[in-house]
């Protein structure tokens, strides 16, 4: 068995794990990142890319903001359509200049990989059977399998950034871990097409046939979603069927202006609200999807992972700089405050815009009244805008 020594062992080579490794490296703190998949596999995953200002600032702090600045797009607002009419949320006007940045999660991950390579960061791909050990002690370690051998990483702390289906969370005893969950009986059928978007800004649609979302990745790349059954088979949605269903849910002006084309990528994503408490156990810390999942309606998934990394990186830096453990001790409490606010917002957006199987005539009228009130009240629109651009870090 080979043994490696580092200060922080990171499980998961997605954007959260790579961002943490990069931020720590810049402060002279060593880390080893273990990723179960190959880099090509990780970079082939298509994910959303609406970044809060705090996330953009954190990426700049990590030294990976140059391409983001060149290629991203800034959104000052977005539209919500219902009853055949479009209404705009002027985020910048309502919040005194607040915006979001559109830049794909895949591109964030690519930038972070390149930064770790440039600094000779240790990212071990295709690490099988990664397992945390002794997390309740002062001497935790990780084991993994690669090239028919077993390897060990001794470290001071372990950080689980390995997603909802990862191994990190299972290292916390069941008697300690509290789980809060809401599984929605619907999914999003998402497609990517090499076509110009119908609008520079996102368009959310509440329709009796179900929710729809029109978004963009670039001036020539569009991302569209329609609500579907959670067990829907994407192969049963040929291109023509998808475009017809999307147009049926859009306001007339949007449907008339949409440019269709071959679908590049097609998949169904289930909707879930999920939180575990605590996000720390001994020398093990959870971050991102390992600790919480939000429905994609509010665009909070990657941004919540980034805020976790902000709090955790600060705690680790203060620990190694001056022996201050307060940030690590308070990590779970502080991170969860922001997590639950984002969970509330994402739940509210999901309830507001989707037609859920349990919704009857009363529920649909409540949705309509809520939307009418939203666009009659500057205070209500401001609250929506503040949450969408991202609440400030503590």
Percent of the chain whose predicted confidence (pLDDT) is above 70: 99
Sheet hosting strand 212-218, strand order edge to edge: 85-90, 77-82, 203-205, 212-218, 221-229, 178-193, 263-277, 292-293
Residue 138, Cα to own-chain centre: how many angstroms? Answer: 31
Does residue 281 form part of some domain?
yes
- Are the CB atoms for 104 and 112 separated by under 8 Å? no
Half-sphere exposure of 250 (CA within 13 A, CB side): 24
Which of 125-129, 146-150, 286-290 bottoms out in mean pLDDT, i.e. has the lowest? Answer: 146-150
Determine which one of 103, 184, 204, 224 is catalytic: 204
Does residue 213 form part of some domain?
no
**Active site (annotated) includes residue 373:** no
Does residue 140 form part of some domain?
yes
**pLDDT (tens digit per residue) in 92-139:** 999 999 999 999 899 999 999 999 999 999 999 999 999 999 999 999
**For residue 33, how many other CB atoms are within 10 A of its CB?**
26
Instruction: Name the residue range of residue 6's domain.
Output: 2-51+104-180+271-356
Please count the structural domains in the chain.
1
**Active site (annotated) includes residue 225:** no
Res 46: pLDDT: 66
Per-residue pLDDT band at 268 (split at 50, 70, 90): very high
**pLDDT (tens digit per residue) in 18-71:** 999 999 999 999 999 999 999 999 988 767 689 999 999 999 999 999 999 999
**Active site (annotated) includes residue 296:** yes
Determine which one of 103, 141, 331, 388 is catalytic: 388
Does residue 42 form part of some domain?
yes
Residue 63 tokens, joined: 């030294």
Determine which one of 300, 311, 331, 354 is catalytic: 300
Q: What is the pTM of this model?
A: 0.95
The Cα 232–Cα 188 span in angstroms is 9
Determine which one of 132, 140, 295, 296 is catalytic: 296
Does residue 333 form part of some domain?
yes
Does residue 195 form part of some domain?
no
Does residue 337 form part of some domain?
yes
């Amino acid at each position: 068995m080979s043994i490696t020594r580092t200060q922080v062992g990171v499980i998961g080579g997605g954007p959260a794990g790579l961002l943490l490794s990069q931020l720590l490296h810049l402060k002279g703190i060593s880390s080893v990142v273990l990723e179960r998949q190959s880099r090509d596999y990780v970079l082939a995953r298509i994910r959303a890319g609406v970044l809060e200002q705090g996330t953009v600032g954190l990426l700049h702090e990590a030294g990976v903001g140059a391409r983001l600045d060149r290629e991203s797009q800034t959104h000052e607002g977005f539209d919500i359509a219902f009853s055949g009419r479009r209404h705009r949320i002027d985020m910048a006007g309502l919040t005194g200049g607040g915006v979001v940045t559109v830049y794909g999660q895949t591109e964030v991950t690519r930038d972070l990989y390149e930064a770790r390579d440039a600094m000779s960061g240790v990212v071990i791909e295709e690490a099988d059977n990664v397992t945390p050990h002794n997390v309740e002690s002062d001497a935790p370690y990780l084991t993994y399998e690669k090239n028919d051998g077993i390897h060990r990483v001794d470290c001071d702390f372990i950080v689980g950034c390995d997603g909802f289906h990862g191994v990190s969370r299972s290292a916390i005893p069941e008697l300690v871990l509290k789980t809060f969950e809401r599984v929605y009986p619907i999914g999003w059928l998402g497609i990517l097409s090499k076509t110009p978007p119908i609008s520079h800004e996102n368009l959310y649609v509440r329709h009796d046939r179900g929710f729809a979302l029109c978004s963009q990745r670039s001036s020539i790349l569009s991302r569209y979603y329609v609500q579907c059954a959670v067990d829907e088979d994407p192969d049963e949605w040929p291109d023509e069927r998808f475009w017809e269903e999307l147009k049926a849910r859009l306001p007339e002006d949007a449907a008339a202006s949409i440019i269709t084309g071959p679908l590049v990528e097609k998949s169904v994503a289930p909707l879930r609200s999920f939180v575990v408490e605590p996000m720390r156990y001994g020398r093990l810390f959870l971050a991102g999807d390992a600790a919480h999942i939000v429905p994609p309606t509010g665009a909070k998934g990657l941004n919540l992972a980034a805020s976790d990394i902000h709090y955790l990186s600060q705690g680790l830096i203060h620990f190694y700089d001056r022996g201050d453990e307060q940030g690590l001790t308070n990590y779970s409490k502080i991170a969860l405050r922001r997590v639950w606010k984002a969970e509330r917002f994402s739940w509210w957006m999901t309830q507001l815009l989707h037609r859920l199987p349990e919704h009857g005539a009363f529920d649909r009228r409540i949705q309509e009244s809520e939307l009418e009130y939203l666009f009659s009240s500057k205070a209500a629109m401001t609250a929506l805008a503040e949450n969408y651009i991202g609440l400030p870090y503590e």
